[in-house]
Structure 1
Amino acid sequence: MSAATGDPRRAGLAAVSLAQALRALRRGRLAMTAALDAVPHLGLAASPDSLPEEPALTGTLLVEAALAAAACGDAAAAGDLTERAARLATAHDERHHRDHDGIGFGPTTVELARALIAMRLGDHSQAVAIHQRATSDDAWHLLPAEHRAAHLIDITRAHLDLGDPHAAGRALAAADAIAPAETRIRPAARTALTAVLRAGFPAADVTRLAATVGLT
């Protein structure tokens, strides 16, 4: 971020990574601050003359801030930030917001964030309902593979908390088919896979995945 001083786009990209790292460390407030501090430098106003990556990056930062707010239990801030991101997303075509830095932003991105926010705030039924609606849209397949796989891994927590290990297993198998590195390296995937195995009678593809990552 220091190296990106004077370059709002590069600073914004660095802020996305910083916010994600802070969320992983359970520092939700700091993550929210890191994401929001970068937003004013990019500008929220959408215009025909604005670069396509600016609204995408701004929206991504708002989504990161909303997820960070949910991580520290601030439902009001999470809702407000999600709505800001949603308003920005409706002004732009999702297909035009995937750039060379791998940023994908649009209505589907916001809906996926809504699902994770609902899950982190304890409403697992709502989380699964939003997830199912968002992933049935054609725009879901336009998102970067790593984004889709990471979301599928994250949503397993909602399936497991609802007592549906088979749905959690299907999500993990789907994530592995999309981006194997996500399921085979991320600790969250290993934790979820262990829970699915302990529930008993996993599907064949889940059993194969468990063998691949060294879980038996």
Structure 2
Amino acid sequence: MDDLTDRAAHLAAAHSERPDHGDRPDHGFGPIVVDLTRALAAAHLGDNHLAVTLHHRATTTDAWHRLPAEHRAAHLVDLTRAHLDLGDHHAAGRALLTADRIAPAEVRLRPVAHTMLTAVLRAGPTPADLTRLAATIGLTVAP
């Protein structure tokens, strides 16, 4: 995984240096995409602390805001599992709410988002806006 993402980072850096490219939303590839991929790969490999650290580093850049809304929201939904695995269901809930504000369809239509929302609701007390989101999309959570 490290070798492949390092190669992708090299390609992304070279690609973004071209004046007709860069971290623009119209082509979907650049250093920010590699950074987000590293975060999700770390989560899939079980290194959730690294995943969240890489996520925070990537999402505080201007390049994050230039990504398509759907890409940002999908990443937040996918990172929810890392927060849950770390026992931080509040951060998981915030990720889902932020994703819903950015691109509602990513949360309201994706089955994985429904699964994550159900897991967050079962993890403990949740804010009213998260419960409202669940009701809006028709999720019922049995105790």
Deviation per residue, 1:143-163 (Å, 9 max, x gap): 011110100000000000000
Residues 184 and 190 in structure 1, CA contact (< 8 A), matched pair in contact too:
yes
Quote the RMSD (CA, aligned, Å). 1.4
Normalised by the length of structure 2, the TM-score is 0.89
Aligned residues of 2:24 and 2:67 also touching (Cα < 8 A): no
Distance change >3 Å, CA 96–CA 143, structure 1 → 2: closer
Alignment match of 1:168 (pick from 92, 102, 124): 92
| Partner-residue secondary structure (3-state), 2:99 | helix
CA offset at residue 200 of structure 1? 2.1
- Whether 1:83 and 2:6 are equivalent positions in the alignment is yes
Secondary structure of the residue aligned to 1:177 is helix
**Residue 97 of structure 1: CA displacement?**
4.0
State the TM-score, normalized to the length of structure 1. Answer: 0.60
What amino acid is the match of 1:190? Answer: H
**Partner residue, 1:178:** 102
Take 1:205 and 1:95, find their aligned partners in 2: how far apart are those partners? 37
CA distance in 2, matches of 1:157, 1:140: 20
Identity %: 67
Gaps of 5+ in 1: 1-77
The total of aligned residue pairs comes to 136
Unaligned stretches of 5+ residues in structure 2 = none
Note if 1:98 corresponds to 2:25.
Answer: yes
Q: Which has the larger radius of gyration?
A: 1
State the distance in 2 between where 1:200 and 1:114 align. Answer: 29
157-166 or 197-206, larger mean C-alpha shift: 197-206
Pair 114,204 (structure 1): closer, same or farther in 2 beyond 3 Å: same
